[in-house]
Amino acid sequence: MRKLLQTTPEKITKKELIVRCWVLFYTFFKIALFVVGGGLAMLPVIEEVFLRKHKWLNKKEILDMVILTQTVPGLIAVNASLYVGSRIAGFIGSVAALIGVMIPSLLIICSIAYFFPDLSPNNPYITSGFSGIRAAVTGVFAITAWRLGKEIIHSVWDGLIILILLILLLANVYPLYVIVLSMPVGFFLILKKQKKLFFKEKKHE
Amino acid sequence: MSSLFLFCQFAKFSVVLFGGGYMIIPLLMTTFVEENPVFSLDAFGNLLVLSQITPGAVSLNTATWIGFTQRGIIGALAASLGLVLPTVFLSFCAITVLDRLEKTLFMQGILKGVRYAGVAMICYAIVLFAGMSVFTQPVPWRRLVDFITAGASLQGFAVNPVETVIALLAFFSALKLRLSMIQIMISGALFGILLHLVF
């Protein structure tokens, strides 16, 4: 457990630790306050600040951060802030960074929700503006699906698996179960591939 | 809807969100519109859209908003902590073993499978959002089958021409012009107001 909490690479003084925690909190607060577009849009800004400006992280650690956001379930922004925080100032640092990421959301959303509680207003301009954005979001999602699909679908089988999962979702199966169901499928495919490689190696021998 | 319920729901969601927040949309839709109808479809669509165009992590914004509408500040805190705390625990377990974890067969299998689910989930999100914009109401699959096989009437289900044009424009401008997501959404809003004034 002790090893788990001491993830900082070098020993630092107490004063330095406080300074680092403050910078972490402040930076992540600023990123969450100004970067629009979710966690993926934040990653380049994090790299800019901690790799180029402060030089507290190296290239390998940035790469590890990206791997972590894809391996550990949860929001990208949260995963990234936890990793960067723990590398720079240990456990306290990651708590500071996490609080920095969360506070702007709480402040902005609670104030919007407090002053504009009506989510389906009657003003025709606002209504048409909203339906315009919803249409644009449909298009943006279609682009994301297109790009992801191009990356993942290599054969008819890949397409078929996705189609079956989509039909399950459309048939009102609870989405959580669909995600859980997809895990053993992936595991099975990986095992099959490994087996094939194994036999190929044997033949070579 | 109690704060504890909100916390548990969002904690449950956060454990299956691999590589990004858009996977949460179908989950939220099922939980907060269909199973516990606390939002109308229209209001929920607006909520999702507003959390996309406000700064910060998108799912965190959505969670905070849902929590706030249900139980005020306490609810907002409960929902967003629910979404965050499982990740804190899991990533601290993962940071120490990251190099090995990524290479294990078990993790590779899960990640491969979840990637398929990710594409399926975003396709489903497209269908959901199309039901709120491109079409006049959510796609009625059963009636659609009847319509194709027996020619039954599709009462109330039609295509909105204005929204269809905006969706297509958004798709092609993202593909060709490489505009950012926020630029596309703001132009979508402007186009929506303009075209509704004209037609």
pLDDT tens-digit profile of B156-190?
Answer: 777 888 888 888 888 888 888 877 778 888 888 88
Tokens of A2: 């002790």
Name every chain B residue with its beta carbon within 8 A of the beta carbon of A112.
50, 54, 65
pLDDT of residue B149: 76
The answer to whether residue B189 is domain-embedded is no
Largest CA distance in chain A: 75
Select from B109, B129, B175 the Cβ nearest to the Cβ of A134: B129
Query: What number is the average pLDDT over the span B96-124?
Result: 83
Residue A66 touches chain B, beta carbons under 8 Å = no
Query: pLDDT band at residue A10, thresholds of 50, 70 and 90?
Result: low
The answer to whether residue B187 is domain-embedded is no
ipTM higher than 0.90?
no
Name every chain B residue with its beta carbon within 8 A of the beta carbon of A42.
57
Name every chain B residue with its beta carbon within 8 A of the beta carbon of A41.
180-181
Give the tens place of pLDDT for each residue, A62-104. 888 888 888 888 899 999 999 999 888 888 899 999 999 999 9
Residue B159 touches chain A, beta carbons under 8 Å = no
Tokens of A198: 């194994």
Residue A194 touches chain B, beta carbons under 8 Å = yes
Task: Kindly state the helix (H) or strand (E) to which residue B8 belongs, with its residue range.
Answer: helix B3-16
Query: What number is the average pLDDT over the span A9-34?
Result: 86
Query: pLDDT band at residue B83, thresholds of 50, 70 and 90?
Result: very high
Q: Residue B146: is its pLDDT beyond 80?
A: no
Yes or no: say if B50 and A41 are a contact pair by the CB < 8 Å rule.
no
Hey, what amino acid is at B61?
N
Q: How far away is chain A from the Cα of B9, in angstroms, using its nearest Cα? A: 11
Cα angle A33, A38, A41 (rounded to 5 degrees) comes to 90
Percent of chain B with pLDDT over 90: 19
pLDDT of residue A1: 42
The answer to whether residue B179 is domain-embedded is no
Does the distance separating the beta carbons of B20 and A39 come in below 8 Å? Answer: yes
pLDDT of residue A8: 52
Query: What number is the average pLDDT over the span A35-52?
Result: 86
Does the distance separating the beta carbons of B45 and A130 come in below 8 Å? Answer: yes
Alpha-carbon distance values, A133 to A2, A107, A119 (Å): 49, 23, 14
The total of other beta-carbon atoms located within 10 Å of residue A75's CB is 26
Chain B, 97 to 126: residues with Cβ < 8 Å from chain A are 98, 101-102, 105-126
Yes or no: say if B88 and A70 are a contact pair by the CB < 8 Å rule.
no
Tally of domains within chain B: 1
The residue range of the domain holding B112 is 3-159
Residue B76 touches chain A, beta carbons under 8 Å = yes
pLDDT of residue A4: 46
Which of B61, B91, B194 is best to mutate for the A interface (most A CBs within 10 A)?
A: B91
Residue A117 touches chain B, beta carbons under 8 Å = yes
Q: Residue A6: is its pLDDT beyond 60?
A: no
Helices (H), B17-57: 24-29, 41-53
Query: pLDDT band at residue A3, thresholds of 50, 70 and 90?
Result: very low
Select from A35, A73, A101 the Cβ nearest to the Cβ of B15: A73
Tokens of B189: 């809003």
